């Protein structure tokens, strides 16, 4: 369970769904005999009727996929930009903090059949290759190579049953502090800080 102060809680499902698709390299967490296991993976997403699904694949040699059957709740974590916020940027004395975006999704996992896995990989290749000058797409690869690759991986889907999302973007600060935080982040050399500044600016524009 993620602790989320009320200022930072996000409940708009469509907004969250867009966020995870833009930040689709996630962390899949399960447990084995009480010990947490995690794998970092590129993930896919689809919606059928009113249900959301996360799809992906493990290397066959990764033992985590074998924990799915016994694991009631699989946790998948996604993270967006994050940045240190100095309290020297506020008009009144305060303590430093950290701004971030994070989404936790929980659900029950099941394994994909071979044809479902092929479909998942086809969609993933299209997403990351289609715009390139010489795209490597599923139907351009040799059947022999594809057959060999499919033997080495295990596909899965997770039916999302609970979503917890936190966007900590200085929403609890007054307008003067908020604008100054953006300005100061833009002056930082860290690319994450610049991303956070851009994100905070976008949020402000949407409110106007």
In a domain, 88, yes or no: yes
Q: Who has greater pLDDT, 132 or 204?
A: 132
pLDDT at 10 (0 to 100):
84
Residue 21: is its pLDDT beyond 70?
yes
In a domain, 190, yes or no: no
Question: Whole domain around residue 157: which residue ranges?
Answer: 6-172
In a domain, 94, yes or no: yes
Query: If you average pLDDT over every residue of the chain, what do you get?
Result: 93
- Residue 87 covered by a domain: yes
Examine residue 201 and state whether it is found in any structural domain, yes or no.
no
* Count of structural domains, the chain: 1
Q: What is the pLDDT of residues 28-45, one digit of tens each?
A: 999 998 899 999 999 999
* CATH number of the domain bearing residue 162: 2.30.110.10
**Residue 157 located in a structural domain:** yes
198 assigned to some structural domain: no
| Position 144 in a domain | yes
Three-state secondary structure readout of the chain: CCCCCHHHEECCHHHHHHHHHHCCEEEEEEEECCEEEEEEEECEEEEECCEEEEEEEEECCCHHHHHCCCCCCEEEEEEEEEEEECHHHCCCCCCCEEEEEEEEEEEEEEECCHHHHHHHHHHHHHHHHCCCCCCCCHHHCCHHHHHHHHHCEEEEEEEEEEEEEEEECCCCCCHHHHHHHHHHHHHCCCHHHHHHHHHHHHHHHHHC
Average pLDDT over residues 10-18: 87
**Res 165: pLDDT:** 94
pLDDT at 204: 84
pTM score: 0.90
- Average pLDDT rounded to a whole number, residues 132-150: 91
């Amino acid at each position: 369970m993620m602790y989320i102060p009320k200022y930072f809680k996000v409940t708009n499902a469509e907004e969250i769904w867009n966020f995870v698709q833009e930040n689709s390299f996630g962390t899949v967490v399960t447990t084995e005999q009480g010990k947490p296991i995690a794998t970092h993976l590129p993930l896919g997403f689809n919606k059928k009727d009113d249900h959301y699904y996360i799809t992906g694949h493990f290397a066959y040699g990764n033992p985590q996929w074998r924990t799915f059957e016994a694991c009631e709740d699989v946790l998948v974590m996604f993270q967006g930009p994050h940045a240190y916020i100095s309290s020297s940027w506020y008009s009144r004395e305060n303590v430093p903090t950290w701004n971030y975006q994070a989404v936790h999704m929980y659900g029950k996992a099941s394994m994909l059949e071979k044809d479902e896995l092929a479909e998942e990989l086809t969609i993933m290749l299209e997403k990351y290759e289609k715009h390139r000058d010489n795209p490597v797409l599923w139907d351009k690869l040799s059947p022999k190579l594809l057959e060999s690759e499919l033997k080495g991986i295990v596909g899965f889907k997770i039916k999302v049953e609970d979503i917890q999302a936190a966007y900590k973007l200085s929403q609890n600060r007054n307008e003067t502090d908020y604008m100054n935080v953006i300005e100061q982040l833009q002056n930082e050399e860290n690319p994450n800080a610049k991303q956070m500044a851009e994100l905070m600016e976008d949020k402000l524009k949407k409110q106007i």
